[in-house]
Amino acid sequence: MKIGLSLGSGAARGLAHIGILKAFDEAEIPIYAISGSSMGALIGGLYSAGYDIAHLEKMIYELDWKIFTEFFDLKITKSGLVDGKKIENFIYEFVGDVQIENLDVKFCCVATELITGNEVIFKSGSLIKALRASISFPGVFIPAYLDGMFLVDGGLKNPVPVNRLPDDCDIKIAVHVGPFAEKEELVSRYYKNDNIENENNVGFPLSINKFIKDILKLSSGNGTVKYPNIFEILVQSIAILQESVAEYVMDDVECVKVKPDLDNYKLTDFTKAKEIINIGYQEGKSLVRKIIETGEL
């Protein structure tokens, strides 16, 4: 049976893809093909290149997200804050200078051409360059410049690229980890009481590194209404726009839709990695059980 997995964009929520892949690995059910967008491209690309998913999970758990900015080569430019070279080096340490057409698992990922808005599909060439393009969230990463194109996050055009899986897949599974519904538990993280902490009163951070670290903080902890930070506003605004695109693509392809229960997690909840991965793992185990019991989904 040829199983195709499409791993969608979703920033921190995309860490659930690690759990999905872990479940298939434990059951020794091979994945025939993977398509990915943004975080889904990054995780799917590493897996397709043969990187052990258990090692990736362990690395994520041990990563101190408070010093995550060390992976960023921060630059204040008119095009973005992060150049992306350190991210490319980080990926290189995992998989080396591998070509997509030589991966262990059939793989493709998508990016968005900034000027035309066209979807760009990577089915061959440098895996590192393709992943760098697919994860280039606008306003944060400086667009990747490749083959005369300015490329940004694939999730803008195709958040769950299940339509880019090979036609010969027997089963196509679309894993959608996109925008959340504002449940009470999540809303309460912002709205504590009637006091308002206005960002206008906070003051401009002393350095860009401090600014990025402040962005990753989850709560003010002082019982006030906590305004979403700039990054959260940008990420969530784009995610809302992506929702209708993702549904359109998934409705247009015969596939199994999987949406892990991540409603209580923000797209910036990287410090909740263990919980998010476990949710993906439970969803993956459910998929595996159905495949083993019925031979289909």
Which residues does the annotation mark as catalytic? 38, 153
* Per-state percent for the chain, helix, strand, coil, to nearest 5: 45, 15, 40
Q: Which of 75, 131, 84, 139 is nearest to 103 (CA)?
A: 131
The residue among 117, 119, 199, 195 whose CA lies nearest residue 163 is 119
Tokens representing 36? 């990915």
**How far, in Å, CA of 2 to CA of 64, rounded?**
37
Tell me how far apart the alpha carbons of residues 23 and 57 are, in angstroms, rounded to a whole number: 12
- Give the angle 215-219-220 at the CA atoms, nearest 5°: 95
Pairing, β 119-122 against β 106-113: antiparallel
Among 255, 247, 249, 243, CA closest to 10: 243
CA–CA separation, 230 and 219 (whole Å)? 14
